[in-house]
């Protein structure tokens, strides 16, 4: 299969899936980050975590209660904090 055919097939499968029709598409659902666990792992209060990472305290609380789910860049930051907290904290120190 050529690259063009592969891309075309992928797009066709995505369109079928988005339209709710059966397709060959493989859909991945990333796990929702456990914000409280990540925050506790870095040893911060909700207030300190919110201040350090530029997120409102109410957002942190909603994430921890499961009322909202982190999206986009927040998910990336939480993933990095879960796996490389010291690297993230060192990088932030260089910015201040």
Q: In tens digits, what is the pLDDT along the chain, a chain of 96 residues?
A: 899 999 999 899 889 888 988 888 777 777 899 999 999 999 999 999 999 999 999 999 999 999 999 999 999 999 999 999 999 999 998 866
User: What is the pLDDT, as a whole number, of residue 82?
Assistant: 95
- Indicate whether 91 and 57 sit together in one domain: yes
Same domain, 54 and 86: yes
Same domain, 17 and 47: no
Alpha-carbon span 19 to 12, nearest angstrom: 11
Residues 42, 24, single domain; the answer is no
Answer yes or no: are the C-beta atoms of 49 and 39 closer than 8 Å. Answer: yes
Of 64, 15, 75, 62, nearest to 36 (Cα)? Answer: 64
Regarding whether 64 and 86 lie in a shared domain, the answer is: yes
CA gap 1, 4 in Å, rounded? 8
**Same domain (yes/no): 88, 43:** yes
Whether the full predicted model's pTM is greater than 0.85, yes or no, is no
13 and 39 assigned to the same domain: no
The residue range of the domain holding 62 is 35-95
Query: Domain count of the chain?
Result: 2
């Amino acid at each position: 299969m050529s690259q063009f055919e592969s891309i075309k097939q992928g797009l066709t499968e995505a369109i079928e899936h988005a339209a709710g029709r059966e397709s060959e598409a493989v859909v991945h659902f990333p796990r929702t980050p456990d914000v409280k666990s990540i925050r506790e792992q870095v040893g911060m209060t909700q207030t300190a975590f919110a201040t350090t990472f530029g997120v409102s305290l109410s957002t942190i609380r909603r994430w921890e209660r499961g009322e909202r789910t982190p999206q986009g860049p927040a998910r990336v930051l939480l993933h990095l904090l879960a796996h490389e907290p010291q690297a993230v904290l060192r990088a932030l120190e260089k910015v201040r």
